[in-house]
Chains A and B, each alone.
Chain A
Amino acid sequence: MSSAISTAPQSGAPLIYHLRDVVKTREAKDAAFTLRIPSLQIAMGEKIALIGESGSGKSTLLDMLAFILQPSEIGAFSFRPERDEQPLNIQAYWKKGKINELGDLRKRYIGYVMQNGGLLPYLTVRDNMNLCRSVLGLRPDGMVEHLADELGITAHLNKLPDALSTGERQRVAIGRAVAHRPSIVIADEPTASLDPYAAEKVMSMFIGLAEEFDITVILASHAWDHIKQLGLRRLTHRTIRNHNKMFTETVVTG
Chain B
Amino acid sequence: MARSWSKIFHLAIRDYVHEWLMSICFVLALAAVLGPMMVLFGLKFGIVGAMVDQLIENPLNREVRPVGSGYYDHAWLETVLERPDVAFLVPRTRSIAATIELSSEHSPRIVPVELIPSDHGDPLLSPDDPLPEGVTRLVLSQSVAEKLKVAPGDTLDGSLTRHFRGQQERVHLPLSIAAIAPAAAFSRDGAFVSVALLEALEDFRDGRAVPSLGWDGDAADANRTYPGFRLYARSIYDVAGLRDAFSKLDVDVHTHTTEIELVQRLNRNLTSIYWAIALVGLVGFSLSLGANLWANIDRKRKELSVLRLVGFRTADIVWFPMVQSLFTAVLGWALAVAIYLVTALVINDMLAAQLETGQQVCRLLPWHYAIALLLTCTSAVLAAGLAGLRSARVEPSEGLRDL
Q: Which of chain B's residues has its CB closest to A162's CB? A: B18
Q: Encode contact with A along B369-403: 1 for CB under 8 Å, 0 otherwise.
A: 00000000000000000000000000111001111
Contacts of A135 on B, CB cut-off 8 Å? 4, 7, 310-312
Nearest-CB residue, chain B, relative to A123? B14
Interface residues in B269-323 by Cβ distance below 8 A to A read 303, 306, 308-314
Residue from A68, A120, A123 within 8 A of B308 (CB atoms): A68
Question: CB of A31 within 8 A of chain B?
Answer: no
A99 at the interface (CB under 8 A from B): yes
Q: Which residues of B contact A112 (CB under 8 A)?
A: 309-310
Q: Does B17 contact A (CB under 8 A)?
A: yes
Report chain B residues within 8 Å CB of A131. Answer: 310
Which chain A residue lies CB-closest to B15?
A122
Q: Contacts A63-B397, A116-B403: A122 and B14 contacting too (C-beta < 8 A)?
A: yes
Within 58-86 of A, Cβ neighbours of B (below 8 Å) are at 59, 63, 66, 68-70
Residues of chain A within 8 A of B403, CB atoms compared: 114, 116-118
A132 an interface residue at 8 Å Cβ cutoff? yes
Answer whether A118 and B309 are a contact pair too, CB < 8 Å, given A59-B401, A135-B7. yes
Question: Contacts A116-B403, A118-B403 known; A103 to B397 CB distance under 8 Å?
Answer: no
Within the assembled complex, what's the spacing in Å between the Cα atoms of A182 and B187? 91
Whether B18 contacts A104 by the Cβ 8 Å rule is no
Contact B400–A68 (Cβ < 8 Å): yes
Interface residue? A20 (CB, 8 A): no
- Which A residues touch B170, using CB under 8 A? none
Closest 5 CB pairs of A and B: A107-B311, A122-B18, A63-B397, A68-B396, A69-B397
10 sample A-B contacts, Cβ–Cβ < 8 Å, listed by A number: A70-B395, A100-B314, A112-B310, A118-B309, A118-B403, A120-B15, A122-B11, A122-B18, A132-B311, A136-B311
Q: Which residues of A contact B (CB under 8 A)?
A: 59, 63, 66, 68-70, 99-100, 103-104, 106-108, 112, 114-118, 120-123, 127, 131-132, 134-137, 160
> Residues of B at under 8 Å CB distance from A?
3-4, 7, 11, 14-15, 17-19, 303, 306, 308-314, 395-397, 400-403
Given contacts A107-B312, A114-B403, A120-B303, 19 further A-B contacts (CB under 8 A): A63-B397, A66-B309, A69-B395, A69-B397, A99-B314, A100-B313, A100-B314, A104-B313, A107-B310, A112-B309, A116-B403, A118-B309, A118-B403, A120-B11, A121-B303, A122-B17, A131-B310, A132-B311, A160-B18
